[in-house]
Amino acid sequence: MIDPVALASRLIACPSVTPEDAGAIDVIAEALEAIGFTVHSFWAGDAPDGPVRNLFATRGQGGPHFAFAGHSDVVPAGPGWGTDPFTPVIRGDLLHGRGAVDMKGAVAAFIAAAARIPDHQGTLSLIITGDEEGPATHGTLALMAWMEERGIRPDLCLVGEPTSAHRLGDTIKIGRRGSVNMWIEVPGTQGHVAYPHLADNPAPRLIRILNELDGWTLDTGNRWFQPSNLEITDIAIGNPATNIIPGVARARLNIRFNDAHRGADLVEHVRQVVARHAPRGTVEARISGEAFLTEPGRLSTLVTDAIHRATGLEAELSTSGGTSDARFLSRLCPVVEFGLCNATMHKLDEAVAVADLHALTDIYADIITHALQG
């Protein structure tokens, strides 16, 4: 048997601020090997986004194949904590430490759940990366490439992100919106403000571009997704002088989009808007992930039934929130996300209820049992 609180504490003690590993993967590997898993770990990528340490562990053989995915890296702690963020401490009913909720607690709970079920049909695996909180270029994508080379493909996948809103088990994620960042640059010609005919001010054109984009209604949402939204996140000219027409104006925007869109199509629309108002303008884009939806079915029912048996709650099926590595894993198989309460994730004095760690272990054990019945 594995105590999820003790294992979570060991993981919190590893200051694995992305992309640093700080021993976290070794802690996970040791725990998994002790309960019969074959563990493979490898480094991927170079600085500045790497190197990243990743882990794939498997136990059993044949089908069905049920996978758990998660991450060992955390966001920086920042100043102002009541205690050392990487020294786990229990105060009252809460275990405090960076990563307690997002998501070392869920990783510990799943390993503890797997320890309860040493004999099972099919294959149980864990897909763990050290690069979820960062650029996510050398983590889950590298693991998926490693799996593809070996012909490994799960039938179902559960991601242990902290999805619960108010009580453990009240929400699971069956999809996520996509995200794209864009950088717009409008060139002009610098000159004296008293001689505008000798200059070309890019600011009015950028304003017209942003005004049109701000008024763009992408969609009105659908059954599972809220409306897509475009947000202007930065406007920069950087002109310290009052008597100079600037030579360039820049802006940045982000679009969170539902499954009515593809990232490339949104980028092309923005480029067309820019071209109409500023023919020499440019748009650079980075698509962080496409929207995905796992239609309610066997996987979501496995999870919601296990939650109901443990808590009595009827979990809400949701697609709200930001992105996660489920956006990549959805290419492999049906994937849903379920984990701890997210109220303190990425915050000072991040903490998980000790009782929730034990309850999550119970739920994960139930999911494993029913997922591997065939």
- Res 321: pLDDT: 87
Three-state DSSP state, 367: helix
- pLDDT the model gives residue 322: 85
Question: Which of the residues are catalytic?
Answer: 73, 132
133 marked among binding-site residues: yes
- Rounded to 10 degrees, the C-alpha dihedral 194/198/204/208 comes to 160
User: In this predicted structure, what is the pLDDT of residue 93?
Assistant: 97
Q: How far is CA 98 from the centre of its chain?
A: 16
User: Which residue carries 């963020």 as its tokens?
Assistant: 85
Name which of 258, 212, 17 is nearest 130 in CA terms.
17
According to DSSP H, which parts of 233-342 are helical? 263-277, 298-311, 326-329
Q: Is residue 180 within 8 Å of residue 267, measured between CB atoms?
A: yes
Report d(CA 251, CA 234) in Å as an integer: 5
Is 161 a known ligand-binding residue?
A: yes
Contacts of 252 (CB under 8 A, 6+ apart): 181, 182, 183, 184, 232, 233, 234
Question: Which structural domains are found in the chain, ordered by start?
Answer: 4-176+291-372 (3.40.630.10), 178-289 (3.30.70.360)
CB-CB neighbours of 311 under 10 Å: 17
Coil/strand/helix, residue 153: coil
* Letter string b/e over residues 219-235, b meaning 16 or more CB atoms within 10 A of that residue's CB: eeeeebbeebebeeeee
Rounded to the nearest 5 degrees, what angle is found at the Cα of 183, between the Cα atoms of 180 and 187? 155
* 190, burial (CB in 10 Å: exposed 0-12, middle 13-18, buried 19+): middle
Spell out the per-residue pLDDT of the chain, length 374, in tens: 999 999 999 999 999 999 999 999 999 999 999 999 999 999 999 988 899 999 999 999 999 999 999 999 999 999 999 999 999 999 999 999 999 999 999 999 999 999 999 999 999 999 999 999 988 999 999 999 999 999 999 999 999 999 999 999 999 999 999 999 999 999 999 999 999 999 999 999 999 999 999 999 999 999 999 999 999 999 999 999 999 999 999 999 999 999 999 999 999 999 999 999 999 999 999 999 999 999 999 999 999 999 999 999 999 999 998 889 999 999 999 999 999 999 999 999 999 999 999 999 999 999 999 999 85
Amino acid at 278: A
Residues with Cβ within 8 Å of residue 16, at least 6 apart in sequence = 22, 23, 24, 72, 73, 74, 99, 130
Q: Is 307 left (phi over 0), alpha (psi -120 to 50) or beta?
A: alpha
Structure tokens, 340 = 């701890």
Exposure of 119 by Cβ count < 10 A (0-12 exposed, 13-18 middle, 19+ buried)? exposed
102 annotated ligand binder = yes
Joined tokens for residue 348: 């000072």
What are the pLDDT digits (tens) for 239-283?
A: 999 999 999 999 999 999 999 999 999 999 999 999 999 999 999
3-state SS string over 66-105? EEEEEECCECCCCCCCCCCCCCCEEECCEEECCCCCCCHH
The C-alpha R_g of the chain, in whole angstroms, comes to 24
Q: Nearest 5 degrees, angle CA 18-CA 19-CA 21?
A: 95
| Number of CB atoms found within 10 A of residue 3's CB | 14
pLDDT score of 374: 58
How is residue 281 annotated by DSSP? -
366 marked as part of a ligand binding site: no
C-alpha–C-alpha distance, residues 353 and 8, integer Å? 12
**How far apart are the C-alpha atoms of 69 and 332, rounded to whole Å?**
12
The H or E element that residue 144 is part of is helix 140-149
